[in-house]
Chain A
Amino acid sequence: MDSTGGKIDDGLSALPDDLLHLILASVGDDAAAVARTSVLSRRWRHVWLHAQDLSLAEADTASRGAPGRFARSVDRALAHRGDADVGSLKIVFRHCRATPAQVTAWLRYAARRVVTCFHLDLGVTAQTSEAAPPPPPAAVVELPSHGRAASVWLNFPALARLRLPTTAATYDALTKLTLVDAWFDEVAPGGGRSLGSFVSACCPRLRVLNVGWPHGLRHLALRTDSLEELDLSGAYDLETLDVDAPNLRLLSVHWCFSGPMFSRVGDRLVATKWVRVSSARWLEEVRMLTTLTRRIPVEIRGGDLTSVRRLSGIALDLHGRHCVDRNNGLWLLRKCTRAEHVQVDLFDPVPITYPGFYDVPVDFTAEGAAPFASVRTLSVMTRPFYGRHFMANLSSLLSRFPCLRSLGVDIFEDHQGNDGPSGCLCDIDELDDHPNVSLTSLQDVKIIGFTGTEQEMSLVKLLFESSSSLKIMTVSVMTAKGKNNDDADGGLLERIGRELSNIPCNDRGRWHREGKVHAADGGCPPSSAQNFKFVWH
């Protein structure tokens, strides 16, 4: 008679491959756990390699292994599958130790065999220098001219330049393309097709294009009927962006462009960097942050920006009532007259030491300036402001959003002490001269990163003064993290609670404290900033 173990083994081994694959698929994202099932028996040895979705991932501790070992293991796994199609294929390196020839072979394999999703993450390159940008890699890897996958995700660090196919190419099924850290080959003499030309001519169904931290991507011109989302991040080399995409819904240009943006022609300054968006009648969401010192020209052709409902990442450089619009934040707020949701990074511009270096500041709170009356939800991220700039900037900002229903303020860190370095743009004497703020529709407020400074308390006071419609306000307290000073935290919370209660508020609510108790109450040390909340309702 069989032992129990023997019987169970028989049960599992009697299952058809379909079911073994279903079990492996249920293991989820843990590539190593799936691969380890090969130790069960001879039959299981290669079951995992033939799964519909194959995932190969180098371990966190890979630095211990011999260089190139994981890459050889990938070669072996793909060879084992032979000519069978694969649903999705995911290859994840920790450190980039593949050869360009290997990567070329994997790209070719994927182009022929992968049906849904091909994900190749080549990890990080070993030698990165903080001081100088590394030179372009010498080797070139060319993308195959045809691909079957619906989605391609490539993290392509300094192993090789990425050459897009030079000959007639088709990626008919491709709907989503993500390229991270790639060195584009288009500027090199004899280099490949440009990214813009590849997307426009070879990817007729592409709906989503994400490009993150590209190198050598200077000009991007897209002519595409299918594209709905364009997300460019960290494209510092970018000079011109020209998007003609009638179905575009999301335009995100995040931390792009850098360096000088004008050249002098005679006695005129001519913009050498610009953004042009054509016929984007359905644009719903815009995110725009640059690393430039001046506002980059943005041209909207064949329409306007009134379809935009969400500005999900814009920046304003405020100095009290003054605004330097180097990020187009103010420009976008003015153009997107029907935007309902706004997420704004509030910068504090550095002092102006070189006249002409920055754009001329404008009065953000000027009388007669149209309010941004369509905005219902505003989410603000503050930077470390000097002294009274905190309230000067926030009151200036809030004065332009009279119809808010919901406000979120994320206090990054509040500078205490002096009001700013010398050379400050605004007149120090003006810092307490706040514009009138009236928020008659405001219902809920969330403040996080609160540390209880006088300026922060003034913000709470302002919100109660300017709104009688408020229903709930949540203040999450940032305690001294890492200091493990329970008594100090307890004292801080007590003080904040007391001071909040002293702020005149309408009689419909009162303050409650939520979250973990502090040491004085129960000996439970505070562990993170979000554990303590004061809620008014």
Chain B
Amino acid sequence: MAAPESGDGNNGAARMVTLISSDNTRFEVEAAAASLSQTLQLTILDGGGGGGDGIPLPNVDSATLSKVLEYCIKHAPAAANGGAPNATAVDRAELERFDNEFVNIDQSVLYSLIMAAHNLEIEGLQSLVAKKVADMIKGKSPMEIRRTLGFPDPTPEEQAEMNAHMLEYGWAYE
């Protein structure tokens, strides 16, 4: 199942590694893509994840992991170029288009994604999701923020607390 490791790394097939989600699904992926994760990069550099072993990821379920890997595979070529200083404007525009569509998803998936990106230390993905959530916060009234982020309307007791707080920091609510 796992691709044979190419010793010279020159003209053989790209090195593959296997990742195992919390619900025991195995994902085979190029080492270069998985290495976008700082955590996985160390293991992979140590020779882990090849052969039949696989790297277990007990904190990431298969739905989230498949989404994370979609991001990594898309961004791996640019990352290999050291942050893509050589990338053409077209390449960058394409990545931007991909990113915008990629985070256009259900909020619950967004939160799972940012959590996974945090655990796996994938900086680009963390920032991307954080930016998306931040955009949902900007330019909204307190009640709009609550509703956008799916918080239930406050109980009378909580409303009173909120009002007291808003009075203390009035400058943010004018």
* Residue in chain A with minimal CB distance to B152: A5
* Residue in chain A with minimal CB distance to B150: A8
Given A9-B152, A40-B149, A42-B161, are A59 and B168 also a contact pair (CB < 8 Å)? Answer: no
By a CB distance below 8 angstroms, the chain B residues around A271 are: none
* Residue in chain A with minimal CB distance to B138: A33
Interface residues in A392-441 by Cβ distance below 8 A to B read: none
Distance to closest chain A CB from B19 (angstroms)? 22
Given A5-B152, A27-B138, A37-B137, are A12 and B111 also a contact pair (CB < 8 Å)? Answer: yes
Interface residues in B107-160 by Cβ distance below 8 A to A read: 107-108, 110-112, 114-115, 118, 126-127, 130-131, 133-134, 137-143, 145-146, 149-152, 158
Interface residues in A38-53 by Cβ distance below 8 A to B read: 38-42, 45
Pair A12/B145 contact, Cβ less than 8 Å = no
Q: Helix, strand, loop or mixed for chain A's interface?
A: helix
**Separation of A51 and B143 alpha carbons in the complex (Å):** 22
By a CB distance below 8 angstroms, the chain B residues around A6 are: 150, 152
Pair A15/B138 contact, Cβ less than 8 Å = no
Pair B127/A22 contact, Cβ less than 8 Å = yes
Given A15-B111, A40-B145, are A62 and B130 also a contact pair (CB < 8 Å)? Answer: no
Given A7-B108, A9-B151, are A19 and B114 also a contact pair (CB < 8 Å)? Answer: yes
Pair A56/B149 contact, Cβ less than 8 Å = no
Pair B168/A11 contact, Cβ less than 8 Å = no
Distance to closest chain B CB from A351 (angstroms)? 52
Tell me whether A30 is interfacial, beta carbon within 8 Å: yes
Pair B171/A36 contact, Cβ less than 8 Å = no
**Separation of A65 and B169 alpha carbons in the complex (Å):** 11
Pair B171/A28 contact, Cβ less than 8 Å = no
Tell me whether B170 is interfacial, beta carbon within 8 Å: yes
By a CB distance below 8 angstroms, the chain B residues around A3 are: 152
Pair B170/A65 contact, Cβ less than 8 Å = yes
Tell me whether B165 is interfacial, beta carbon within 8 Å: yes
Tell me whether B162 is interfacial, beta carbon within 8 Å: yes
Most chain B beta-carbon neighbours within 10 Å: one of A9, A16, A57, A64: A9
**Separation of A207 and B110 alpha carbons in the complex (Å):** 43
Of the residues B112, B118, B137, B170, contact of A18 by C-beta under 8 Å = B118
Pair B137/A62 contact, Cβ less than 8 Å = no
Pair B171/A59 contact, Cβ less than 8 Å = yes
Pair B174/A62 contact, Cβ less than 8 Å = yes
**Separation of A73 and B166 alpha carbons in the complex (Å):** 11
Interface residues in A305-330 by Cβ distance below 8 A to B read: none
**Separation of A69 and B111 alpha carbons in the complex (Å):** 37
Of the residues B112, B118, B130, B146, contact of A26 by C-beta under 8 Å = B130
Given A15-B115, A19-B115, are A70 and B145 also a contact pair (CB < 8 Å)? Answer: no
Interface residues in A374-399 by Cβ distance below 8 A to B read: none
Tell me whether A201 is interfacial, beta carbon within 8 Å: no
**Separation of A15 and B158 alpha carbons in the complex (Å):** 22
Pair B174/A11 contact, Cβ less than 8 Å = no
By a CB distance below 8 angstroms, the chain B residues around A32 are: 171-174
**Separation of A27 and B139 alpha carbons in the complex (Å):** 10
**Separation of A23 and B135 alpha carbons in the complex (Å):** 9
Given A18-B118, A40-B145, are A33 and B161 also a contact pair (CB < 8 Å)? Answer: no
Pair B126/A22 contact, Cβ less than 8 Å = yes
**Separation of A99 and B151 alpha carbons in the complex (Å):** 39
Of the residues A28, A41, A65, contact of B134 by C-beta under 8 Å = A28
**Contact residues of B with A, CB < 8 Å?**
107-108, 110-112, 114-115, 118, 126-127, 130-131, 133-134, 137-143, 145-146, 149-152, 158, 161-162, 165-166, 168-174
Supply 15 A–B pairs (Cβ within 8 Å), ascending by A: A9-B149, A11-B112, A12-B150, A14-B111, A14-B115, A16-B118, A25-B130, A26-B134, A33-B140, A35-B171, A36-B140, A39-B165, A40-B145, A58-B171, A73-B170
**Contact residues of A with B, CB < 8 Å?**
3-9, 11-12, 14-16, 18-19, 22-28, 30-33, 35-42, 45, 56-59, 61-62, 64-65, 69-70, 73, 76-77
Q: Given contact pairs A11-B110, A33-B172, enumerate 7 new A-B contacts (beta carbons under 8 Å).
A: A15-B115, A22-B127, A23-B137, A26-B133, A33-B138, A39-B166, A69-B170
Pick the 4 closest A-B CB pairs, nearest first: A8-B150, A11-B111, A35-B172, A26-B134
